Amino acid sequence: MSVGRRLARLAAHLQDPRKVAAFQRLCGVEGPSGWAGAGQRGPVANGGPAGGQAHPAGNTAGNGAVPGAAGPPRPWSRRPRRNSLTEEEDGSQEFATRSRFLYYLFSLGTELGNELFYILFFPFCIWNLDAWLGRRLIIIWVWVMYLGQCTKDVIRWPRPASPPVVKLEVFYNSEYSMPSTHAMSGTAIPLALLLLSYGRWQYPFMFGLILALCWCSLVCCSRIYMGMHSILDVIAGFLYAILILVVFHPVVDLIDNFNLTYKYAPLIIISLHLALGIFSFTLDTWSTSRGDTAQILGCGAGVACGSHVNYITGLQLDPPPHALPLSLSSLTVTVFGKAILRLLIGVIVLLLTKVAMKKATIPLACKIFRIPHDDVRKARQRMEVELPYRYITYGMVGFSLMFIVPCLFHFIGLS
């Protein structure tokens, strides 16, 4: 058998949704009663459930079980996690899990690739640890996520079929599956953090390496546990992120210096990111991935422009050269308290900025392009609304992160 055929067979084996379902069963996840039988009716597009009525997940009798007899721990029933744009009922059946620990552990893992994590991690890094490091992490994160989202819309592989897979969340069920952008982010951020911080910060290399591997493993395994990706999707995302890191890590200093020092950098940055957003919107029909792409590009543009304004106004966020290498040994209760206070105040400002810009941009875009905005969910599925709303809103969030909030800290004495 040729190498090509062997690789094709291996890829088909790793893409098999039954492997995902087997991992879920190993972790104690159970679908509704009759779930395995439902799988014989065949899956629908993009991981949706097959037709037919599903029974409640709490019914665990059958298969020779004797009512009242001692058995395994009682399953804990849950509904799939959703978001505000999740309209379809795909994968909305109740599921059960016999291990709350694994459910919460892998929920934490999957949150390491969601907006809540980003809006806490990047600000904390920039305001409290090292702005130099935070800017470079965001540059790498933007390119990793942009290329990952666009690749999804080019390859167009569906999510794992359900059944046999149990969907524990439907946040991104309308997106395609290959590669896993959670796996890409969960690989790129910890590895980039290690590459950029080692030597600049004082810590044992093995500690950083073990932390990066645990972080990456948790995120990757969580996507299989949640039923959102096949094993092949996760492996491809992991390898793709490493490839992008190999390309961008050597030039990240050049990109950051350009953003800071070049006179026309803001104009070029805004135009480039906007053009990349428009291109990504032409790849496929609406899905949450298009909005996420515009959101990521807007955030990257806002951070870059804020960094440039910091540079030309002399607002110095980077630690002075004589303080290098940095160390956590000087951490005191006062320093920790100020860090938490900065994070709390700053994140509130970012959330207020996001809400205010959302309230302003969606109706304005609908008015300019004459799109009815009675149903905001449907209006946001139009490129004329989604692209400017996400790009402008998260551009302002990124700008606030780098310039407005640090100015506020300087004004109130929290610098």
Active-site annotation holds for 229: yes
Q: By C-alpha distance, which of 118, 112, 223 is closest to 167?
A: 223
Counting other chains too, the contacts that 250-254 makes at CB distance below 8 Å and 24 or more residues apart are 252/136, 252/139, 252/140, 252/196, 253/136
CB atoms within 10 A of CB 126: 25
Q: Is 130:200 a contact under the CB 8 Å cutoff?
A: yes
Contacting residues for 408 by C-beta, under 8 A, at least 6 apart = 345, 346, 349
Alpha-carbon gap, residue 214 to 280, rounded angstroms:
32
- List the end-to-end C-alpha distance of the chain, in Å, as a whole number: 65
Q: Give me the catalytic one of 55, 229, 308, 410.
A: 229
**203 three-class SS:** coil
**Which residue out of 13, 55, 182, 308 is catalytically annotated?**
182
Of the candidates 291, 296, 293, the one whose C-alpha atom is nearest the C-alpha of residue 362 is 291
- The DSSP letter of residue 74 is P
Phi then psi dihedrals of residue 81, to 5 deg: -70, 140
Distances (CA, A) of 199 to 125, 183, 327: 17, 26, 11
List Cβ<8 Å contacts ≥24 apart for 339-345.
339/124, 339/127, 339/128, 341/414, 342/127, 342/128, 342/409, 342/414, 343/120, 343/123, 343/124, 343/127, 343/128, 345/405, 345/408, 345/409, 345/414
Bridge partners, 201 (sequence order) = 198, 326
As a residue count, the chain comes to: 415
Q: Which two tokens stand for residue 138?
A: 């965001």
Q: Which residues share a beta bridge with 97?
A: 29, 76
**373 part of the active site:** no
Q: Are strands 29-30 and 95-97 parallel, antiparallel or unpaired?
A: antiparallel
DSSP-assigned letter for residue 161: P
Catalytic positions = 182, 229
